[in-house]
Amino acid sequence: MKEIKIYTCGKMSGISFDAQMGWRRFLQEEVEKRYDGLNKITFIHPPLFYNYENKLHKSEREILDWEMKQVHDCDIVVVDLHDIETTVGSHMELGEIQGINRFGDKYIFIIGIGSEHRLHPWIKESCHRIEFDYYDAAKYIVEYLLI
């Protein structure tokens, strides 16, 4: 049995914990509802570890290092494209994945959720696939990436 790690990438600063986790929980439920395979699926939701409401970290570097390590260890990254232009952390994570995909020893699939309209071309081209909603993203992940 293989473990497949799915990292959820999206805006965290300036929004409530519930807003940070709402789409993440929904996506996880949709994937788990559809998947009946043998592989173990682990979701990494950064707000469950580091967030701005329960400031448990001692430095921003601590968060940066932890998140980049999680990104490196995952197989799939799901990025919420809503307000992507306002989240530096998400840009850093996508850049890290591009480096891994181009020069590393593995490939990480990036699945974007949201509208492609007005996305910066580099963000758009970073995504393996973009789905408009969470249902279609979950369906694609299960049917194509978890096989």
φ/ψ region of 118 (left if φ > 0, alpha if ψ in -120 to 50, else beta) reads left
Phi, psi of 104 (to 5 degrees): -95, -170
The pair of three-digit structure tokens given for residue 27, joined into one six-digit string: 């996506």
Q: How confident is the model at residue 146 (pLDDT cuts 50, 70, 90)?
A: very high
The tens digit of pLDDT for each residue in 2-55 reads 899 999 999 998 899 999 999 999 999 999 999 998 899 999 999 998 876 777
Return the CATH class of domain 3-145. Answer: alpha beta
Report yes or no: 78 and 111 within 8 Å, Cβ to Cβ: yes
C-alpha to C-alpha distance for 82 and 54, rounded to whole angstroms? 24
The pair of three-digit structure tokens given for residue 57, joined into one six-digit string: 């970290």
Q: What is the pLDDT of residue 81?
A: 97
Model-level pTM greater than 0.85?
Answer: yes
For 135, half-sphere exposure in the C-beta direction (CA atoms, 13 angstrom radius) is: 0
